[in-house]
Amino acid sequence: MTTLNLNPIQNPINKKKLYEMEEASSQQIEQVFKTARRMQDIVKNMPVEKRVEEILKINDYVIAHREEIITRIVEETGKSRFDALSSEIFEVCDLIDYLKKVAPKLLKDKKVHTPIVLMGKKSKVVFEPLGTVLIITPWNYPFYQMLLPSILAFLAGNTAIIKPSELTPLKGLIERVLTESGFLKDAIQVIYGGRETGKQLIDAQPDKIHFTGSVQTGKKIMAQAAQYLIPVDLELGGKDPAIVFEDVNIERTANGLLWGSFTNSGQSCTSIERVYVQESIYDELIKKLYYNISKLKVSDENRNYLEPGECDMGCMTSESQIQTVESHILDAVEKGAKVIIGGKRAPGSLHFPPTLIVDVNHTMKIVMDETFGPVLPVMKFKTEKEAVQLANDSPYGLSASVWSKDLARAERVAKNLKTGNVSINNCMLTEANPALPFGGIKNSGIGRTKGEWGLFSFVNVKAILIDKQSSIIEAQWYPHTKTKYDLLTSLIISLFSRSRNLIKFAAVGMKLDKIGSKEKIK
Ligand code: NAD
C-alpha cells in the first residue's frame, strides 16, 4: 500500500501543529496481527488473577502519571483539565477497580442446571477468549475509549489491537503507559491511521471488532465485517433527551442539565441534546438556565485557560464538528427557533460558547440529528404520555434522563423510553457505574460494554455437557424402533403435561434405559 498522508495533528486551542499522521502500511498491519496472534496463547493461558495483576500495573501508572497524561489529552482535544481528569483518568481507574474484583469470579467455569431427562449428566459453561480483538475508537474521549475495551478484552484473555482516531491519536501515549508500567509486552498494541487503515485491519480478520464512533462508519464496519462473519459491537451516536417534570428542584435540575449538555463541550455520545420541560415550570427553568450559563467560565480565543478554577468548559476539538453545530443552529433559526444565549463563535476559533435555544421542534436538525456540541435546545410538554412520545421520536436510542421527585413516575417513564440507559434525577450517571452495562438500541448501536455483559462480549461462551462413559445406548440413538417411539411419547406426556406425573416418567425412563442396556455394543 502506498503511504497516504492524513491531516497533521494540531492543538485545537492555539492551532499549533503537533505532528504528522499517515495511514499504516500493509507491512505494519501484517506485523501487528502476527504479534497479536503470537501473544494469544500466552494471554489465554494466564489465570484471570494474573491478568488482573497486569491491568493493575496500568492503574498504578495512570494514577502516578495523571497530570502528564491529562496534559497530552488536553493538547490534542482542547478539553478542560477537569473534564480530562473526571472522564478519562477517573473512568479508567474506576473500571479497573470494579473489574479487579469481579473478573476472576465472572470468568470461572459455571455449573448450570441439568434437567431430569439428562439424569446422571453434568452441564457447565466455560468462558474462553475469542483471540485478537480490533478496537477502533473516536476522538472525543481518546484515552478512555482506547483503554476501556482493551482492558475488558485482555481480562477476558484476548490480545488487542487499537486503532485510534486520526484526529486525536495521542500518538505514543498508550504505548508509553503499557511499556513504562511493565504491562505484558505486545498483549495490547496500537496502530495509527485513518479510514484506510481501519478497512485493512478488518480485512486482516480479527476475531472480534469493538467499534466506537459514528452511525455512518458503524454501518460500513458492520457490512465489511459481515463478509468474514466477524462479530461486532457498535457504540454509536446519540440524541439524549432529558424529561423534566414540574415537581423538580429547579436549581439542582438546571445545574444538572447544563453539565449534561456542556461537559466535554457537548462532545459526548450521552450528552443531553434535547430537553422536554413540563409547561408550568418552563419559564422559570429557562431563566435559571440562562442565568447559570452566563456565569460559566468558558475558555475563549483570547483566554486559553483550561485550568480548574479558571475554566468550566474548554474548546471543541475539530472545525468540522463546529460546522455541524453551526448548521444545526442555522437550520433551527431559519425554522423559527430563538437563541437565548451563545450561538456564535469568533471567526476561525474552535471555542464555541454554551448555547441555549428555544422555540425548537421535531422538524429541526437540532432536535433530530446528533449535534455533538455545547447546545441545549428546550421544548415544553403537557403530559407524561406526550413527554415519552416526544423523547422516543428519534432515530437514536442511547441514553436519557428523567427528572422528578415522584420516583414511581420517573421509573415508569424510564421503562417506557426506547434507549439502552436511563438516569433518574441525574444525567450520564449510568456510565459512571462500571457494573452497569453500557450501549444503545436503534441507530445508537449493538452490544453492551461494561458490567458483566461487557466482559462476556469478549468471550466464547462455551457449553459443555459431561456424560460418564457407560455401556448404555441412549434412547434417541439408533435403532429407532416402534417401542422406543411409544415410550418417548409417554415420557413427553408424563413429564411436560401441566399435570406432570413423575412416577410414570420414572417408569418409562427405566424401560428406555433397559432397552438401551440390551442394545449395548458388544
Ligand atoms: P467516526 O465514525 O468518524 O470515526 C471513528 C473511527 O472509525 C476512527 O478511528 C476512524 O478512523 C475509523 N473509521 C472511519 N471509517 C472507517 C472505515 N470505513 N473502516 C474502519 N474504520 C473507519 O467517528 P468520530 O467522529 O471519530 O466520533 C464521533 C462519533 O462517535 C459520534 O457520533 C459519537 O456519538 C460517537 N461516540 C459514541 C460513543 C458510544 O459509546 N456510544 C462514545 C463516544 C463517541
**pLDDT for 193 beyond 80:** yes
Hey, what's the torsion of the CAs at 262, 268, 274, 278, to 10 degrees? -70
| Helix (DSSP H) and strand (DSSP E) numbers for the chain | 18, 20
- Out of 103-117, 190-204, 505-519, which region has the weakest mean confidence (pLDDT)? 505-519
- Does pLDDT of 519 surpass 80? no
Residue 19 near residue 9, CB atoms below 8 Å:
yes
Residues belonging to the active site: 235, 269
pLDDT band at 174; cut points 50, 70, 90:
very high
For the chain, state the CA radius of gyration. 28
What mean pLDDT comes out for the span 23-29?
A: 98
Cα 372 to ligand 1 centre (Å)? 13
Cis amide leading into 231 (omega within 30): no
All three cell numbers of 335 = 425554522
Among residues 303, 258, 309, the alpha carbon closest in space to that of 81 is found at 309
User: Which protein residue's CA is at the shortest distance from atom 16 of ligand 1?
Assistant: 195
C-alpha span between 307 and 70 (Å, rounded): 11
% the chain with pLDDT above 70? 98
Q: Do residues 1 and 23 touch, judged by C-beta distance below 8 A?
A: yes
Task: Flag whether pLDDT at 470 surpasses 90.
Answer: no
pLDDT over 50 (residue 88): yes
Phi, psi angle pair for 298, to nearest 5° = -115, 135
Hey, is 105 helix, strand or coil? helix
Q: What is the model's pLDDT at position 304?
A: 65
Ligand 1 atom at shortest distance from the alpha carbon of 201: 20
pLDDT tens profile 42-56: 999 999 999 999 999
Nearest CA to ligand 1 atom 12: 195
Q: Are 376 and 313 in contact (CB under 8 A)?
A: no
Helix residue ranges per DSSP H, 158-214: 173-181, 195-203
Query: pLDDT tens for residues 33-43?
Result: 999 999 999 99
Does the pLDDT of residue 1 top 60, yes or no? no
Q: At residue 478, does pLDDT exceed 60?
A: yes
What's the CA-to-centroid distance between 95 and ligand 1, angstroms?
Answer: 22
- Whether 458 has a pLDDT exceeding 60, the answer reads yes
- What integer is the mean pLDDT of 375-399? 98
Spacing, Cα 140 to ligand 1 middle (Å): 9
Report whether pLDDT(517) > 50: yes
List the residue whose alpha carbon is closest to atom 23 of ligand 1: 213
Q: pLDDT exceeding 90 applies to what percent of the chain? A: 93
Does this model's pTM top 0.75?
Answer: yes
What is the average pLDDT across 165-192?
98
Mean pLDDT score across all residues of the chain? 96
What does the alpha-carbon distance between residue 273 and residue 261 come to, in Å, rounded to a whole number? Answer: 6
Q: Using most ligand atoms within 8 A of CB, pick from 29, 76, 91, 165 the residue to mutate for ligand 1.
A: 165
Distance 392 CA to ligand 1 centre (A): 24
CA 486 to each of CA 311, 489, 503: distance values in angstroms, whole numbers, following the listed order:
80, 5, 17
Pocket test for ligand 1, best of 217, 235, 236, 319 (most atoms within 8 A of CB): 217
Residue of the CA atom closest to atom 28 of ligand 1:
213
Pocket of ligand 1 (CB under 6 A): 136-140, 163, 165-166, 194-195, 198-199, 212-214, 217, 220-221, 235-238, 269, 370, 372, 398, 440, 445
Task: Report, as an integer, the average pLDDT of 497-508.
Answer: 96
Q: Average pLDDT, stretch 322-334?
A: 98
Predicted local confidence at residue 308, as pLDDT: 84
Can you tell me the mean pLDDT for 429-438? 96
Q: How sure is the predictor about 520, in pLDDT bands with cuts at 50, 70 and 90? A: low
How far apart are the CA of 164 and the centre of ligand 1, in A? 9
Residue 186's pLDDT is what?
98
Distance CA 135, CA 146 (A): 7
Report d(CA 393, CA 402) in Å as an integer.
Answer: 16
335, pLDDT greater than 90? yes
Contact 358, 340 (CB under 8 A): yes
